[in-house]
Amino acid sequence: MVTEPRNARSRRSRAALLRAARELVESEGVTAVTMAAVAERAGVTRRAVYLHFASRAELISALFDYVNEVEDIQGRFDPIGDAPDAVTALDEFARRHAEFMPRILAVARAVERVAPTDPDAARHWETAMYWRYETNRALIRRLDEEGVLAQGWTVDTAADMLLALISNGVSHTLLVERGWTAAQVGEHMARLLRSTFVEPG
């Protein structure tokens, strides 16, 4: 009989715990994620959870790294940087963001709701918002450098507005409350961003 190497078993066990934590967040919210709850959802003992994560804070932090890895955030957004010009990059960003949001919206909104009172969630939320803003700013800066940023905007004000337009609340309204498909959101968001931030002609 071939036995699975210990490090492979450990990675598999860790992934199972993180899947359980993600399921809890999506179904019950971040506050439901305790070491005991994750153990119960995964069908293991609390001791097994502590073998992989020293604290709830470490588990929460690892959860968001896990979601980013499973959903391949970097791979999904890499083509934006490869776009031949800033306007094409903006269109690509709108569509890829729309495709991605349904996959992480439940987790993102759960974290956003409790960030003001949950320090573990707050640390992740601050990091997520930082990277969202920096991504937005890079897009807007490219429009500005190529001379196509619409009049009336600065890089800073346009980046702030873009951050608001791609907020979790907007995605939830369109995808959940209004029942739009990701393709519809991407198409119309691309149109909105182009008409808002790109100089006509």
pLDDT in tens, 47-80: 999 999 999 888 887 887 788 788 777 777 777 8
Q: How far is CA 177 from CA 52, 106, 184, in A?
A: 38, 13, 14
The pLDDT value given to residue 79: 76
pLDDT in tens, 9-35: 888 889 999 999 989 988 888 888 899
The pLDDT value given to residue 7: 76
Environment class of residue 65 by beta-carbon count within 10 Å: exposed (0-12), middle (13-18) or buried (19+)? Answer: exposed
**Residue 105 burial (CB count, 10 A):** 16
What whole-number distance in Å separates Cα of residue 127 and Cα of residue 67? 14
The pLDDT value given to residue 142: 97
The pLDDT value given to residue 21: 92
What pTM, to 2 d.p., does this model score?
0.78
The pLDDT value given to residue 189: 98
The pLDDT value given to residue 6: 56
pLDDT in tens, 104-162: 888 888 888 888 988 878 887 888 899 889 999 999 999 999 999 999 999 999 999 99
Q: Domain segments of the chain: what residues?
A: 6-56, 71-197
Fill in the amino acid letter for 101.
M
Residue pair 87/149 in contact (Cβ under 8 Å)? The answer is no
Do 6-56 and 71-197 show the same overall fold?
A: no
Task: Give the fold, CATH level 3, of 71-197.
Answer: Tetracycline Repressor; domain 2 (1.10.357)
3-state class (DSSP) for residue 198:
strand
Break the chain down into helix, strand, coil percent, rounded to 5. Answer: 80, 0, 20
For the residues of 106-174, what is the DSSP string, one character each? HHHHHHHHHTTT-HHHHHHHHHHHHHHHHHHHHHHHHHHHTT-BPTT--HHHHHHHHHHHT-HHHHHII
> Candidates 3.90.180.10, 3.50.7.10, 1.10.10.60, 2.60.40.10; correct CATH number of 6-56?
1.10.10.60
Q: Is the pLDDT of residue 102 over 50?
A: yes
